[in-house]
Amino acid sequence: MKYVIIGNGIASIGAIEGIRRVDPEGTIMVIGAEDAPAYGRPLISYLLAGKVDPDRLALRPQEFYDSNKVELKLGTVVTAVDTGSKTLTTTQGESIEYEHLLIATGGTPFTPEISGAEGEDVYNFTNIDQARKLIERAKDMKRAVVIGGGLIGLKAGEALFDRGVDVSIVEQSGRILSLAFDEYAAKLAGERLDEVGLQVQTGVTVKEIQHGKDGRVVGVYLTDGAFLPTEAVVIAIGVVPNFDLARDAGLDVDLGIVVDDHMRTSASDVYAAGDVAQALDLLAGDNRILPVWPNAYNQGFCAGKNMAGQDVAYSGGLSMNSISFYGLPTISVGTVNPPEDDSGYEIVTTLDERKRSYRKLVFHHQRLVGYVLVGDIDKAGMYTAFVKFRLEVGDEDRDRLKAGDPDVLMWPDEFFRKTWNPDSEAPSA
């Protein structure tokens, strides 16, 4: 096989599209552990909530794989990679040769040490299989506890709540979405959840999950000593890069698989992309794990082009979160909680509690490096452009940007053309 891709997520699709931009003919094989067509992972909360039909989840139709001449091997786990002989082994006992390999194995759910976390009625919420199990469980369940008030926990909590389940979300830190939000954004979002009846407790977590004699969950003990009766627990603390395969193959790993600016790993002809890769953070200027959808696609796209022989550098990723809390839209991009002791940062906030609207802009010297919007998110695209393209803003434009002046929000177009390298990413994820 000329190109082999391990993992069938969005990074894999990016890679197929990247390869085919350069090489229309070379054979491509995608090996995926899940026995399902590549699906929109963020959509599993809509599936659980009953808001999206299961057959609307696929990212690309079968025709995409046919026309791109991609051989799909689903329900197949790659168990080992031998970078010397350039072969990999699967659970089916096959040995498959590759010329260029992409490891796009995503993340695995992080499970903290909680007594009782193993056993019935305890779920994570990272794949379609778990979503399906929760849909079944929700049919005869009244109460659920979600551990984790980050993106995945909030989405799981809302989806179960929409199914009529009484949900409590517990978050160890002092606020929900602690990395993406500040205290004001978290407060507005928390109030909205409270209004609809979804309980969120912060500063506390689960220390023990109690199972009855029949093995079923009966409740959880919190770190403050309280007991919450519940019939199910969803552990949604986040994902960690799924790099065991790469590490066992002798590739350099740190927090994720280490890659260079072309998404190449330490082994020749082996690339990595997506949640498993530790790739360039546009703002920090070093390599980090930024496990969000657009980054995974763009990394895959860039890796694909390089695998096929083009010479393209990855332009870097951004942390970004967008979530709507029952009609209250929010978005957070880039650096939103800068170090307090760095005087190079300037933070400008506008809060209107009555309108439930909040805007936070974070400048670092002459650049906008991050922002949070709650309520009115109309200008999000333009603010993102300022962050992403690292546009320098002089004093006058900075003042207009702070004021949300539409004139200044119009002018980056010419800068996009100068700064955006369309070879390194495709805006179609």
Ligand X SMILES: Cc1cc2nc3c(=O)[nH]c(=O)nc-3n(C[C@H](O)[C@H](O)[C@H](O)COP(=O)(O)OP(=O)(O)OC[C@H]3O[C@@H](n4cnc5c(N)ncnc54)[C@H](O)[C@@H]3O)c2cc1C
Q: State the residues that interact with ligand X by CB under 6 A.
A: 6-12, 31-34, 41-42, 44-45, 77-78, 104-107, 125-126, 151-152, 155, 242, 245, 274-275, 291-293, 296
Nearer to ligand X, 181 or 363 (CB): 181
- DSSP for 224-262 reads TS-EEE-SEEEE-S-EEE--HHHHHTT--BSSSEE--TT
Q: What is the distance between the alpha carbons of residues 273 and 103, in angstroms, rounded to a whole number?
A: 7
Q: In whole angstroms, how close is the CB of 297 to ligand X at the nearest point?
A: 8
CB of 115 to ligand X, least distance (A): 25
Q: What are phi and psi of 366, to 5 degrees?
A: -95, 20
Give residue for tokens 């299989």.
Answer: 129
Please state the closest distance from residue 14 (CB atom) to ligand X, in A: 8
Instruction: Tell me the CA end-to-end span of the chain in Å, nearest whole number.
Output: 26
* Nearer residue to ligand X within complex by CB, 102 or 361: 102
**CA distance readout (Å), 94 to 99, 161, 294, 425:** 17, 44, 33, 33
Nearest approach, Cβ of 12 to ligand X (angstroms)?
Answer: 6
Residue 122 to residue 235: CA distance in whole angstroms: 7
Nearest CB to ligand X, comparing residues 301 and 363: 301
How many residues are there in the chain? 429
Sign of CA dihedral 191, 194, 198, 203: positive
Closest to ligand X by CB, 330 or 335: 330
Which CB, 210 or 322, lies closer to ligand X? 322
To ligand X, the closest distance from the beta carbon of 107 in angstroms equals 6
State in angstroms the smallest separation of the CB of 101 from ligand X. Answer: 12
* Residue with smaller CB distance to ligand X, 9 or 116: 9
Q: Please answer whether residues 256 and 276 qualify as being in contact, where contact means their C-beta atoms are separated by less than 8 angstroms.
A: yes
The Cβ-side half-sphere exposure at 410, using a 13 Å CA radius, reads 3
Q: Is the dihedral of CA 119, 120, 124, 128 positive or negative?
A: positive
CB of 343 to ligand X, least distance (A): 32
If we measure between CA atoms, which residue out of 56, 83, 72, 80 comes closest to residue 8?
72
CB atoms within 10 A of CB 173: 15
Nearer to ligand X, 27 or 92 (CB): 92
